[in-house]
């Protein structure tokens, strides 16, 4: 993080450039609630078919993350600190979903809801703190890769691109925190790998139907 | 149109029902023989009515009740026939919009939703085009069969492609359009095309003949089935009884056993500890976690 750069300044960079924030966000090592940043105000302009498809894909990813953190909290295997992190991550994921749902409803479309998706996880995923944290790392890696893939593919609408960049940064924070809890380096990856849309979709298929 | 249940079969069902319900159903059986509608007692079948139902219900509806005479076809085809005065008593569609349109015209009573479904991709068992994902359908040379856009499954297919921004790329490989989902399934099973879009419930009817490839959950349209009693039906009571039977516990269980989804997703709870193990020789169970 650059000397003298405040957290709010850092977050405000998200709308202009997600890549910078990715690294900075990871370095924070803690999860914030949602008070310091806000998604782009107002609805995006008329969206292309590609942008709408990407928003749908990201909604699928967010629904998975919400379901995961809900289950992780309910399992009550995490220690106090990790439980708090999971709670904050859940708040973040819900806010991401709300933003993306707003994007779709603004386009006159109905966003996918959790009631329409069946979620499944590998056996024993919620049996222990270690398994929950391990799955958090796996799913946050998937979420980050999905957002990076969407960003790499290019979003035509600037407002949507800004919002996606902000969320990407936040997902990187989640990954960093849970990587540390899994005793992995918090920022070992200078260039996290983006997933192609097809790769991200196939990866989501492993957990959703 | 595919009609798997003839009027003679309906009469036979009436006869079976008479045997089951003995004296109480004698009157009902007589009504069936003379072509009138009846509802039998004690959970027995509804007879003497004609049910027009979406092709995807071909297997499950007779399993719910063998009594009615059934005509299975694309929902749009059936709706067109009802508009022309076809002698249907109940209409069951693979979507909600077609029954709603008939209701708006006064041709059916208020429709009710009764089940849900999802779409999958099916490929021949040999999978000659090596399709493993929906994205493979965009490859040049892959031949795809879909239902026509007027058929619910056809419109759902187009919705999926639009949801994934694959419309142009996939439609470029479509070589045939069918009038109902079972025709799409048949062509894939016979290896006449490389892939097709069908309901997951249809794919289950030809085990060993096709491979099933998931359509991503995030791109699935809402596939809700609705049914209604036909307004001009002379057999209103029996038609209502059939609708009630499908909505009832046994009807819903039968739909589930054929792979259809309940209208409301049951709550899911993940396991947070290993299942308790039973120790031989002990009546106690132990929690290994």
Closest partner residue to B270 (CB to CB) among A61, A126, A208 is A126
Q: Are residues B142 and B25 in the same domain?
A: no
ipTM for the complex shown:
0.82
Q: CB B218 to CB A118 under 8 A?
A: no
Q: Which of B167, B191, B219 is the last residue of a domain?
A: B219
Does position A20 have pLDDT exceeding 90, yes or no?
Answer: no
Strands B277-278 and B119-124, sheet pairing: unpaired
Give φ, ψ of B278 to 5 degrees: -95, 125
Q: Which of B198, B219, B240 is the last residue of a domain?
A: B219
Q: What pLDDT is recorded for position A39?
A: 76
pTM, 2 dp = 0.82
Number of helices (H) and strands (E), helices first, in chain B? Answer: 11, 14
Q: Which residues contact A201 (CB under 8 A, 6 or more apart)?
A: A57, A60, B133, B134, B135, B164, B216, B218, B219
Query: H helices within B137-203, ranges in order?
Result: 152-163, 167-171, 181-189, 200-203
Distance between CA atoms of B13 and B25, rounded to whole angstroms?
12
Sorting pLDDT into bands at 50, 70 and 90, what band is B199?
Answer: very high
Angle at which helix A197-205 crosses helix A129-153, to 10 degrees, equals 150
Distance between CA atoms of B182 and B54, rounded to whole angstroms?
10
Q: Are residues B147 and B213 in the same domain?
A: yes
Please give the share of chain A, as a percent, with pLDDT higher than 90: 74
- pLDDT tens digit sequence for B34-79: 344 545 544 448 999 999 999 999 999 999 999 999 999 999 999 9
Sorting pLDDT into bands at 50, 70 and 90, what band is A29?
Answer: very low
Judge whether A9 lies within some domain: no
Distance between CA atoms of A127 and A161, rounded to whole angstroms?
38
Judge whether B179 lies within some domain: yes
Pick from A81, A68, A187: nearest CA to A139: A68
Give φ, ψ of A43 to 5 degrees: -75, 145
Q: Are residues B167 and B123 in the same domain?
A: yes
| Closest CA in chain B for residue A74 | B272
Looking at residues A87-106, what average pLDDT do you find? 97
Q: Are residues B95 and B237 in the same domain?
A: yes
- Share the mean pLDDT of chain A: 85
- Share the mean pLDDT of chain B: 85
Decide if A50 touches B, using CB distance below 8 A: yes
Distance between CA atoms of A21 and A26, rounded to whole angstroms?
8
Does position B216 have pLDDT exceeding 70, yes or no?
Answer: yes
Judge whether A75 lies within some domain: yes
Distance between CA atoms of B262 and B247, rounded to whole angstroms?
10
Does position B170 have pLDDT exceeding 90, yes or no?
Answer: yes
Most B CBs within 10 Å, among A63, A156, A202, to test the B interface: A202
**A110 exposure class (CB count in 10 Å sphere: 0-12, 13-18, 19+):** exposed
State the total domains in chain B.
2
Full residue range of the structural domain in which residue A88 is found: 18-30+40-205
Sorting pLDDT into bands at 50, 70 and 90, what band is A47?
Answer: very high
Q: Are residues B11 and B145 in the same domain?
A: no
Decide if A73 touches B, using CB distance below 8 A: no
Q: CB B163 to CB A77 under 8 A?
A: no
Full residue range of the structural domain in which residue B129 is found: 119-219
Judge whether B46 lies within some domain: yes
Looking at residues B100-126, what average pLDDT do you find? 98
Q: Are A24 and A184 in contact (CB under 8 A)?
A: no
Looking at residues A15-42, what average pLDDT do you find? 48
Q: Are residues B201 and B190 in the same domain?
A: yes
CATH number at residue A146: 1.20.1260.10
State the total domains in chain A.
1
Q: Are residues B18 and B161 in the same domain?
A: no
Judge whether A121 lies within some domain: yes
Q: CB A127 to CB B271 under 8 A?
A: yes
Does position A3 have pLDDT exceeding 70, yes or no?
Answer: no
Residue position matching structure tokens 């319900």: B21
**B200 exposure class (CB count in 10 Å sphere: 0-12, 13-18, 19+):** buried
Judge whether B272 lies within some domain: no
Give φ, ψ of B213 to 5 degrees: -120, 130
- pLDDT tens digit sequence for A115-160: 999 999 999 999 999 999 999 999 999 999 999 999 999 999 999 9
Judge whether B287 lies within some domain: no
Please give the structure tokens belonging to residue A92: 């973040």
Q: Are residues B186 and B104 in the same domain?
A: no
Q: Which residues contact B33 (CB under 8 A, 6 or more apart)?
A: B11, B14
CATH number at residue B183: 3.40.190.10
Judge whether A2 lies within some domain: no
Residues of B in contact with A104 (CB under 8 A): none
Q: Which of B168, B196, B219 is the last residue of a domain?
A: B219
Q: Are residues B80 and B110 in the same domain?
A: yes
Judge whether A3 lies within some domain: no
Decide if A205 touches B, using CB distance below 8 A: yes
Q: Are residues B253 and B173 in the same domain?
A: no
Q: For Cα atoms B184, B186, B187, give the angle at the middle one, nearest 5 degrees.
A: 70
Q: CB B133 to CB A202 under 8 A?
A: yes
């Amino acid at each position: 993080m650059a000397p003298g750069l405040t957290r709010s300044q850092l977050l405000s960079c998200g709308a202009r450039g997600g890549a910078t924030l990715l690294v900075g966000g990871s370095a924070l090592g803690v999860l914030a609630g949602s008070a310091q940043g806000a998604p782009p105000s107002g609805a995006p302009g008329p969206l292309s078919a590609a942008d709408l498809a990407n928003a749908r894909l990201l909604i699928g990813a967010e629904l998975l993350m919400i379901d995961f953190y809900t289950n992780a909290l309910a399992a009550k295997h995490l220690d106090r600190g990790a439980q708090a992190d999971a709670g904050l991550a859940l708040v973040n994921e819900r806010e991401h979903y709300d933003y993306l749902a707003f994007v779709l409803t603004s386009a006159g479309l109905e966003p996918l809801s959790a009631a329409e998706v069946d979620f499944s996880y590998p056996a024993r995923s919620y049996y222990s703190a270690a398994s929950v944290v391990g799955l958090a790392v796996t799913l946050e890696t998937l979420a980050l890769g999905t957002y990076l893939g969407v960003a790499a593919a290019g979003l035509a609408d600037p407002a949507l691109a800004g919002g996606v960049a902000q969320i990407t940064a936040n997902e990187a924070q989640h990954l960093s925190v849970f990587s540390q809890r899994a005793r992995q380096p918090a920022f070992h990856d200078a260039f996290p790998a983006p997933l192609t849309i097809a790769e991200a979709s196939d990866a989501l298929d492993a957990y959703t139907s | 149109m595919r009609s798997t249940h003839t009027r003679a079969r309906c009469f036979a069902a009436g006869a079976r029902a008479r045997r089951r319900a003995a004296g109480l159903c004698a009157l009902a059986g007589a009504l069936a023989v003379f072509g009138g509608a009846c509802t039998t007692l004690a959970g027995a079948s509804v007879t003497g009515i004609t049910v027009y139902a979406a092709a995807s219900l071909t297997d499950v509806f007779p399993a719910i009740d063998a009594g009615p005479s059934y005509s299975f076809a694309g929902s749009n085809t059936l709706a067109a026939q009802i508009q022309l005065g076809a002698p249907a008593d109940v209409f069951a569609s693979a979507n909600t919009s077609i029954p709603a349109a008939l209701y708006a015209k006064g041709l059916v009573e208020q429709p009710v939703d009764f089940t849900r479904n999802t779409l999958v991709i099916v490929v021949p068992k040999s999978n000659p085009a090596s399709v493993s994902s929906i994205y493979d359908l965009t490859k040049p040379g892959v031949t795809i069969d879909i239902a026509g856009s007027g058929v619910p499954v056809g419109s759902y297919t187009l919705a999926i492609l639009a949801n994934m921004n694959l419309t142009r790329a996939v439609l470029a490989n479509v070589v045939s359009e069918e009038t109902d989902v079972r025709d799409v399934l048949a062509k894939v099973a016979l290896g006449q095309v490389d892939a097709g879009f069908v309901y997951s419930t249809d794919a289950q009817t030809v085990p060993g003949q096709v491979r099933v490839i998931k359509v991503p959950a995030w791109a699935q349209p809402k596939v809700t089935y609705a049914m209604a009693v036909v307004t001009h039906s002379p057999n209103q009571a029996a038609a209502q009884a059939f609708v009630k039977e499908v909505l009832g516990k046994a009807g819903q269980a039968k739909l589930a056993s054929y792979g259809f989804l309940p209208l409301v997703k049951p709550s899911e709870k993940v396991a947070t500890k290993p299942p308790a193990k039973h120790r031989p020789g002990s009546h106690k169970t132990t929690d290994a976690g």
